[in-house]
Amino acid sequence: MDVKRDGGRTCSVSSTIVPRVPAAVLPVCCSETRNFAELPATPQVETTLPTLLDWCFADLFVVALEADNCQNHRMTSLRTSFGAILAPFLYPSLFESAAATATRQLPRRPPRRTLPFLKRCAYSTESFSSREELSDARSSHLNPSPDNYSLTPFADRCIITVEAGAGGHGCVSFLREKYIEEGPPNGGDGGTGGNVYIQAIRGETSLHKLARRRLIKAGRGRNGQGKMKGGERGADVLITVPVGTIIREIQRHDPVEEAERAELDAQRWRRRKSSKEEVEEEEKGTYDQSKWLVFPGTVPSELNRMNFPRLPPPRRSHLAALQPQAPIWLDLDKHMETPMLLAAGAMGGLGNPHFITPNQARPKMATKGDPPLKLSLQFELKILADLGLVGLPNAGKSTLLRALSNSKARVGNWAFTTLQPNVGTVVLDNHHGRPAVIKRRRDGELRENFTIADVPGLIEDAHLDKGLGLGFLRHVERAAVLAFVIDLSAGDAVEALKLLWKEVSEYETVREKEVNADTQRRMVKYIPPSQNQPASISLGLESPKFENPSIESLPLLSSTTISSKPWFVVATKADLPDTQQNYEALQDYLARVHAGELPHPSKRKNAWKYDLRSVPVSAINAQGVEAIPRIVMDLLEE
Ligand SMILES: Nc1nc2c(ncn2[C@@H]2O[C@H](COP(=O)(O)OP(=O)(O)OP(=O)(O)O)[C@@H](O)[C@H]2O)c(=O)[nH]1
Ligand SMILES: [Mg+2]
């Protein structure tokens, strides 16, 4: 163990050997009763553990713990450095005796579970007047009762029908003025329907608001009016989704596309007509109630005599060019500053002035607004957290999340306490303006925080959809770094790690198959000549069509596979007795995997094993967790 002294003012102890002593006591004692001058005089001395413990435990507890209002700067610096390293679990026997001594000597002090001076990330000390209060607050925060949690509504999948606004109808109207008995037509066009936009924004964390709605419909355009007044546009709709949402099209009903197809068929049909009369006959339109509006009060006999022109060709609004190509496949993995058009509103109908012909100066018909584009979309949220926690049920993932962030995830001593993912944010500067870890993002921006996703526990055969694990593994699939949370008190840690990797690796295989199937789906498709055509036409020579030759982008090949992500192990419950050997075995295993002596637990070839680290923590006491932000920051850069 190295004891470093810096001019007798500050002191730090660094060691891989962690003494089993009440961490609250040790540094405080040192600073209060014995000046640092009493530490061995050489700047860096090798000192034996018993020596240090003797020195610390001589008779110093009472004084130290009573000194609650101590402002000693040295003590503060000591707190941090000792607090960061003292994880009293590797020497249970020493701890037993030390703790017993401490308990004997402390006068009338209720036993405390947590250590008062240990700093926990993102946990402000300012709101607590005394250290005891702070200790109690931390204790209840990290070891809460099962009903002390906040449950935010959460949904990560939903299927929704999105409908753009229908067009408003055109108007049949004539000018009416004094002395003008039969004025010219002046019916306005119908308004265009509202558009549906989508935007991924950072603040959202769940799709539950969308899931409740089922149908999202933009406003219908208003009908045109007399005096050439065009109808008002329909109201637009904006769908906001969390960053990390994937949108897939399941079904589409595009009336304009159908009309275009019908129009194309009709054109071909006309081209083949032999006699001119037949073509002329065809040029004349017929009354179709779903397409035409006639002047109010027109009786059926009059309707029969009316000459309806051919319907105008199908139209799309100019905005439709900005719509994503069909079939929609969007991966909104970045915050969007501006919304993106999902479905453009339908065009409004035409007013009666559009149908003036030399033979018909006062047309008594207008067209109805176009029906809207309807899309059935599947939304899937894959949380984009920086760190994903993977662990067996009851391993202590949620407690770890609470220890690192201000999350109020549910904690309970039974499996499957967590039923939905929780995302916590670790503020690196601890809200004090001084960054605990200074790291920059790739774009040069200072990294002030990182996010952690705690997902329900995995069980054996989770990849066969047992338990809750598989459904939620997609949330860690997108995490930049993975933390495998292993309970040291629950049997062989190495076996637990292998089991977790097996499930993760199986899930990866399932995902790869999905991607391959998707690639197949997006291959160029041969479409035989339209089946709607009359038999006589389809017999003719028709050039085959190829649908979507290059419109659709292929699935993201750049997304890193799970096994190639950087990972580390968080060994929890290290405060419990008899966990030391288990941890040592785990460390040994990781070292051998790193050295290439043992295969990677995922059994995959290009799996990441460059800097395999393990952190022993006691999340319930917030011990050892300080090392995690640093490791995550290092690995995020990989
Ligand atoms: N002694 C000790 N107990 C711990 C520690 N961390 C968690 N626990 C306890 O372990 C139990 C399970 O903790 P959780 O955080 O709910 O575990 P989990 O992995 O989130 O469990 P699931 O959500 O069911 O997957 C709780 O009773 C915690 O108090 C620790 O470091 N030391
Ligand atoms: Mg949990």
Report pLDDT digits (tens) over 126-152. Answer: 444 555 555 565 567 888 887 888 777
* Ligand 1 atom showing the smallest separation from residue 394 Cα: 21
- Is residue 186 scored above 70 in pLDDT? yes
544 lies in some domain: no
- Is residue 326 scored above 80 in pLDDT? yes
Beta-carbon contacts of residue 634 (< 8 Å; ≥ 6 apart): 611
- Count of CB atoms within 10 A of residue 237's CB? 21
- Is residue 79 scored above 80 in pLDDT? no
Give φ, ψ of 255 to 5 degrees. -60, -30
Q: Which residues, chain by chain, have CB under 5 Å from ion ligand 2?
A: 397-398, 417-418
Check if 397 has its Cβ closer than 6 Å to any atom of ligand 1.
Answer: yes
The CATH number of the domain holding residue 564 is: 3.40.50.300
Domain stops at, among 111, 141, 171? 111
Residue 120 has a pLDDT of: 40
Whole-number Å distance, alpha carbon 163 to ligand 1 midpoint, is 46
Greatest mean pLDDT range, 375-389, 507-521, 524-538: 375-389
Q: How far is C-alpha 25 from the geometric centre of its chain's CA atoms?
A: 42
Among 95, 390, 454, 620, the mutation site with the greatest number of ligand 1 atoms within 8 A of its Cβ is 620
Check if 393 has its Cβ closer than 6 Å to any atom of ligand 1.
Answer: yes
Check if 619 has its Cβ closer than 6 Å to any atom of ligand 1.
Answer: yes
- Residue nearest ligand 1's atom 9 by CA: 396
Whole-number Å distance, alpha carbon 408 to ligand 1 midpoint, is 13
Average pLDDT for 625-634 = 89
- Is residue 33 scored above 50 in pLDDT? no
525 lies in some domain: no
Give φ, ψ of 68 to 5 degrees. -70, -35
Rounded Cα distance between 402 and 625, Å, is 11
Average pLDDT for 238-249 = 92
Domain stops at, among 336, 354, 381? 381
Q: Residue 374: pLDDT band by 50, 70, 90 thresholds?
A: very high
528 lies in some domain: no
- Is residue 191 scored above 90 in pLDDT? yes
Average pLDDT for 75-102 = 42
Domain that holds residue 489: 387-513+559-636
Rounded Cα distance between 334 and 243, Å, is 6
Residue 469 has a pLDDT of: 57
Q: Note whether 352 and 399 are same-domain residues.
A: no
Q: How far is C-alpha 559 from the geometric centre of its chain's CA atoms?
A: 15
Q: Residue 387: pLDDT band by 50, 70, 90 thresholds?
A: very high
Q: Is the pLDDT higher at 271 or at 613?
A: 613
Q: Note whether 47 and 174 are same-domain residues.
A: no
Q: Note whether 232 and 283 are same-domain residues.
A: yes
Let me know: does 94 contact 21? Beta carbons within 8 Å: yes
How many folded domains does the chain comprise? 3
* Ligand 1 atom showing the smallest separation from residue 457 Cα: 25
Of 76-85, 459-468, 599-608, give the lowest mean pLDDT range.
Answer: 76-85
343 lies in some domain: yes
- Residue nearest ligand 1's atom 8 by CA: 396
425 lies in some domain: yes
Q: Note whether 353 and 425 are same-domain residues.
A: no
546 lies in some domain: no
- Is residue 511 scored above 80 in pLDDT? no
Q: Note whether 371 and 408 are same-domain residues.
A: no
Q: Note whether 419 and 471 are same-domain residues.
A: yes
Residue 593 has a pLDDT of: 92
Q: Note whether 323 and 458 are same-domain residues.
A: no
Whole-number Å distance, alpha carbon 411 to ligand 1 midpoint, is 6
422 lies in some domain: yes
Rounded Cα distance between 635 and 282, Å, is 71
Average pLDDT for 2-10 = 39
Map residue 256 onto helix, strand or coil. Answer: helix
Geometric angle at alpha carbon 414, from 410 and 420, rounded to 5°: 40
Check if 620 has its Cβ closer than 6 Å to any atom of ligand 1.
Answer: yes
Q: Note whether 592 and 458 are same-domain residues.
A: yes
Check if 391 has its Cβ closer than 6 Å to any atom of ligand 1.
Answer: yes
Domain stops at, among 111, 127, 145? 111
- Residue nearest ligand 1's atom 16 by CA: 411
Rounded Cα distance between 3 and 42, Å, is 9
Q: pLDDT tens for residues 454-487?
A: 988 888 777 666 666 567 777 788 888 999 999 9
Q: Note whether 466 and 377 are same-domain residues.
A: no
Let me know: does 543 contact 456? Beta carbons within 8 Å: no
Map residue 237 onto helix, strand or coil. Answer: strand
Check if 416 has its Cβ closer than 6 Å to any atom of ligand 1.
Answer: yes
Average pLDDT for 15-38 = 37
Q: Note whether 448 and 576 are same-domain residues.
A: yes
Residue length of the chain: 638
The CATH number of the domain holding residue 226 is: 2.70.210.12
Max CA distance (Å), the chain: 117
Burial 308-324 (b: 16+ CB within 10 A, else e): beebeebbbbeebeebb
Map residue 32 onto helix, strand or coil. Answer: helix
Q: Note whether 495 and 629 are same-domain residues.
A: yes
Of 86-95, 236-245, 329-338, 443-452, give the lowest mean pLDDT range.
Answer: 86-95
Beta bridge partners of 331: 246
100 lies in some domain: yes
Residue 97 has a pLDDT of: 44
Check if 487 has its Cβ closer than 6 Å to any atom of ligand 1.
Answer: no
- Is residue 444 scored above 70 in pLDDT? no
Let me know: does 500 contact 390? Beta carbons within 8 Å: yes
Q: Note whether 451 and 421 are same-domain residues.
A: yes
549 class by beta-carbon count within 10 Å (0-12 exposed, 13-18 middle, 19+ buried): exposed
